[in-house]
Amino acid sequence: MRKSVLAAATAALVLAPAAAAQAKDGKRFAATITRTTYGIPHIKASTWAGVGYGVAYAYAEDNLCLLAEEFATIAGERSKHWGPEGTATLGFDTVDNLSSDVFFRSAIDLPALREGTSRQPARVQQLMEGYIAGYNRFLKDAGPDGVPAECRGKPWVRPITADDMLRMNEKQMLLASSLALAPAIANAAPPGSPAPKVAITMPDPKELGMGSNGWAFGGESTANGRGMVIGNPHFPWKGPNRFWQMHITGPGGYDVMGVGLAGNPMPALGFNKDIAWTHTVTEARHFTLFQLILDPADPTRYIVDGKSEAMTSQAITVPMPEGRPAVTRTLYSSRFGPVFIVPARGIAWTAQSAFAMRDANRGNQRGIEAWLRIGEAKNVGEVKAAVSETLGIPWVNTIAADRYGDALHADVTAVPNVSAEKAKACATPFSGLFAEFAILLDGSKASCDWDIAPGTPVPGLMPASDQAATIVRSWLTNSNDSYWISNPAFPHRQLSPVLGKYASPLSLRTRSNFTETTALLAAGKLDHVRAEAFAFANKSYAADLALTKLLALCSGAEGAAARGCAVLAKWDGRFEKDSRGARLFRSLWQSIDTSKTAWAVPFDPANPVTTPGDFKTEGEAGAKLLATLATVVTTFEKQGIALDAPWGDQQQVMAGNEAIPIHGGPGSLGVLNMQESDRAANGRLVPRHGTSYIQIVGFDDKGPVADAILSYAQSTNPASPHAADQTRAYSEKRWNRLPFHPKDIKAAAIGKPKRIAE
C-alpha cells in the first residue's frame, strides 16, 4: 500500500498547477491537529495546502470508510465492488448501483474540470492538493491493520488523486439538481430500446430529504445589540451528506469554525470572529428542462430554428464484479444537456419528442472560493458580496448576522437566467407536467435558451442583482420556502419563477417558524438561553391548528376512536422525549387529508402565516376524522405499539446495544426541530433525516460566543469514542460551548496536539 500511496501523491502534485507555499519548517504539507470535547479537531496550518492536508487527515481519522466508499461511488465503481443490483445513496435519495455508475461516468466531465482548475484561485488549488496529500498520508500512517473493521482489506479503500477531488466537488454542486434525475438520465435510450429495469420517478426536492431552518437576528432583536444566528440544517443521519465539525486557523488570518460535508476542505457553514452564517436549501430551480422536437428521419437528431441538429452520443462502460462482463450504455445529449426519461409520468423519448435538462451547477468550481470568502468576511455586506460576485453557492440560501447587529438573507445561487416573460413565452403544452419540479422550455427555438447577462462568471447565469438579498437590523429567517417572505413584516417583491413560488401557501414548518419567532421576540430580546430553549421547543404547529377541534369532536367518539381521544387529550402537543401520544398524532396527521380542502378558511396571500386555517371537523369531515383515528388506534394495538408510550421510547438511535431516545418530530407537522424517521424491524422509529448540526452564535467584545451540538456525532466508526457522544448530548439537550480562542482550545483539549508534515 505504501508504494501506491506515494505514487498517487506524486500524480496529484503533477496535476496541481499552483505551487504551494512551504510551511515554516520547510515542509510542503504541514498541520497541527488539536482535538477538544467530542473530538472536534482544531486544525492550524500556515499554508492553504497545509489546511487541506490537516482537514483530510482529521476527517479520515473519523470517517475513513464513509469517505472511501464515496470516492468509489463518484468514480462509477459501485457495480464493480457491490454489484449492479445493490443501492447507493446518491445525493439525498437511494438509487441502484448501475444507474449511479452510469450517471457519474457520463455527467462528470473530467477534461473540462481539469482545464477549469487552472482558472481557480491559487489557494483553491492548494487546498485541494493538500486534501489529497492528507487523505493519502492517513492511509499510509494507518496501514492495512489500522483501517476500521468495516472497510479493512477492501479494494475500494485506496489512495486518491486530483481526479477524485474534482469528482467530489462536482457531485456536491449537483446534489439538488442533476443528481435528482440520475436514474432518469442513466436509463434514457432512443425509441425501440428495451424498457428500463429500474423504477424512475420525478422527484420533488422537498421530498428528497432536503430541508433546514435558519435565523439571522439583528441588533434590534438581541439583548446585547449584536447579531445572532441560529442554524438548524436538516441533513441525513447516515451517508456522505453528514456534517462534520472543524475549526481552521490558516494563512492570512483565516480563522473559521463550523461544519462541512465529506470532502469539504473548509467549513461550509459556521462563524469567525465577526460573522456567523448558516444555510437552508433554497426553493430556486438550478436547472431548466427543454422539450426537443425530433427529426422525423432520426430520433437522435432534433430541430432548432427549423434545422436538424445531431445529438452527441457517449458510450459509457461500467465494470462489473470479477467474472462478469462490463456493461456498456450509450447516452445522448443535446445543446441543452442530457436526455432523460420518466416513463411513469409520461415523459418518454418517442419518435416525435424528447426531453433534456441544462444544469446551472454543472462545472461549478467556484463554490470553494465563495465559502472561503464568506469565512473571511468582516460583516454581512461582505458575505453578500461573496455570494453575489462568485455566484458559486450551488443550492442553498445564505443566512448571516454580524457583530455589528446587521442580519442578511441572500437567496443568491447559480440559477438559470430565465425571466418570467421568457418562461411564459417559451412554455410548451407539456410544461404543466413539470410545474412542481422545474420550468420546461421550448427546445425548438434557440431564443428559448438562457439569457446572457454581462458580468456573470458563466454565460447564462442569472445575475445577483435579479435575485433576492435583504439586510435588516430586525430579523430574517427561512425554512425552505421561497424568497417571498423572510419576515412577514416586509415580503419581497416578485422575481423570476426560477427563484421559487410567489404569494403561494407556505409549509407548516415555515408558518410555525414565523409564528414562534414572532412570539419569541414579543416576550423579550434574544439571548443564548432563550435561543437554546427556542431551538429545542419541539412544538407541533399542526397540533396548535387541529388538536383543540379534534378533542371537541371526541365527545361523541366510541370504541377505538375514544381510546385514541383519551390519549390525545393528555398529549402536550410536543415531540419531547417524555411526550405521550406524539406517535399517535403523527400517524393520524399523516393519514388524513391536510390539503387545501381540509380547511374552512382558504389561503390568503395577504395573510400567509395563518391561512389556510380553521381545520374542518364538522359533519362528514368529522366522521372521517374519527374513523381514521379509530383505524390508526386499531393498527397500533395490533402491532403492539402503546398508544401513550413516551416519544423517546418510540424514536431512538442505537449505539451498539444502547438505545438513545431522540426528541424532535416531522416537519410536515410543523415541528421546527425536525426529525423524519423510518420504522425499524422492532417497530421503533429511527431518524433518517433532520436536525443535524445546531449552532447558536452571538458575539461579545472578544468575538464569537457559540453553543452547538452535532446530533449524530463526529465519527461513523462504531469503535470511535465520538460515534455517539454528541447523540447522547443532543438527547439530553446539553449544549457544547465551542472553544474558539487559543486559551479556550488549550483548556478543552483532549490529548496532545498532533503534528503531521511531509
Q: What is the 3-state secondary structure (H, E, C) of 694-743?
A: EEEEEECCCCEEEEEEECCCCCCCCCCCCCCHHHHHHHCCCCEECCCCHH
CB contact at 8 A, 332 and 310: no
Query: What does the longest C-alpha to C-alpha distance in the chain come to?
Result: 82
Set of cell numbers at residue 475: 430579523
User: Which letter, b or e, does each residue of 28-48 get, where b requires 16 or more Cβ atoms within 10 Å of its Cβ?
Assistant: bbbbbbbbbbbbbbbbbbbbb
- Tell me, what amino acid is at 161? T
Q: Is 205 exposed, middle or buried (0-12, 13-18, 19+ CB in 10 A)?
A: buried
Q: Which of 236, 243, 38, 136 has the alpha carbon at shortest distance from 720?
A: 38
Q: How many CB atoms within 10 Å of residue 325?
A: 7
CA distance 407 to 473: 6
Q: Which of 249, 706, 729, 212 has the alpha carbon at shortest distance from 507?
A: 212
Q: What angle do CA 224, 229, 233 make, to 5 degrees?
A: 160
**Three-state DSSP class for residue 119:** coil
Q: Which of 292, 267, 266, 264 has the alpha carbon at shortest distance from 277?
A: 267
Q: 178 an active-site residue?
A: no
Residue 203 Cα distances to 93, 182, 258, 430, 737, angstroms: 9, 11, 30, 17, 39
Residue 451 Cα distances to 143, 364, 494, angstroms: 53, 18, 19
Identify the DSSP state of 758.
-
Q: How many CB atoms within 10 Å of residue 420?
A: 15
CB contact at 8 A, 711 and 692: yes
User: Which letter, b or e, does each residue of 279-294 get, where b requires 16 or more Cβ atoms within 10 Å of its Cβ?
Assistant: bbbbbbbbbbbbbbbb
Set of cell numbers at residue 707: 453553543
Q: Which of 341, 353, 339 has the alpha carbon at shortest distance from 311?
A: 339
Residue 133 Cα distances to 45, 49, 67, 129, 279, angstroms: 14, 9, 15, 6, 29
Give me the sheet containing 244-249, strands edge to edge.
Answer: 468-472, 407-411, 396-402, 275-281, 269-271, 255-260, 244-249, 40-44, 30-36, 754-757
- Tell me, what amino acid is at 385? A
CB contact at 8 A, 714 and 243: no
The one catalytic residue in 100, 212, 353, 486 is 212
CA distance 490 to 512: 18
Q: How many CB atoms within 10 Å of residue 650?
A: 24
Please report, to the nearest 10 degrees, the dihedral formed by the alpha carbons of residues 427, 432, 433, 437 taken in order: 80
CB contact at 8 A, 43 and 194: no
Taking the CA atoms of 126, 132, 136 and 141 in sequence, report the sign of the dihedral they define. Answer: positive
Sequence-distant contacts of 621-624: CB under 8 A, at least 24 apart: 622/553, 624/592
* Catalytic residue annotation: 212
